[in-house]
Structure formats: C-alpha cells, structure tokens
Amino acid sequence: MELVPNNTLICASPEDGRRLALSLAMQTSFAIQPDDHVQKIIRDAYMNNPDGLIAAGHVVAIEFATIAAANNYWR
C-alpha cells in the first residue's frame, strides 16, 4: 500500500499540495485500518460529526504545513 502518492512531497501548486495533504491523511488512515467496510463506517461517522470533521481538518492542516514547507510555499 502506497502511503505517499508518487513518493514525493514536491508538487506544482498549493492546490495540488492541499490534495496531497488530504491523500497523506487518508492513506495513513488506511494503513492503520485497512478494512474498506470499516473505513466507510468510520468516514460516515466523522463526516457527519462536528468534532470529527474539525479533527480531520486539523490533521490535513498539519500535513499541509509540511508539504508547503517542502515546496518553499510555492513562492
């Protein structure tokens, strides 16, 4: 199972960087819980829960901070 799509943090733009951040978070979730059915139940749960949705966004924000630094913030 691939944890980092294309095995690089370098990407063309912030938009791509943000999608990579979402992917990193999702792939790691699958690495910890590989069962598709369980993942679907879990995803349905946090997508429809304020604390869960904020906590998921929190992880994406941290992943994005790493990716943005990797790309010198696309300055």
Binding site for its own copies (CB under 8 A): 2-4, 7-10, 13-15, 17-19, 22, 24-25, 27-29, 31-33, 38, 42, 45-66, 68-71, 73-75
> What's the rounded Cα separation, in Å, for the pair 19 and 24?
9
Cβ proximity to its own copies: between 8 and 36 the closer is 8
| Secondary structure (3-state) at 5 | helix
**Minimum distance of its own copies from residue 51's CB (angstroms):** 7
Instruction: Give, to the nearest 10 degrees, the angle between helix 36-47 and helix 50-70.
Output: 100
Q: Quote the least distance from Cβ 36 to its own copies, whole Å.
A: 13
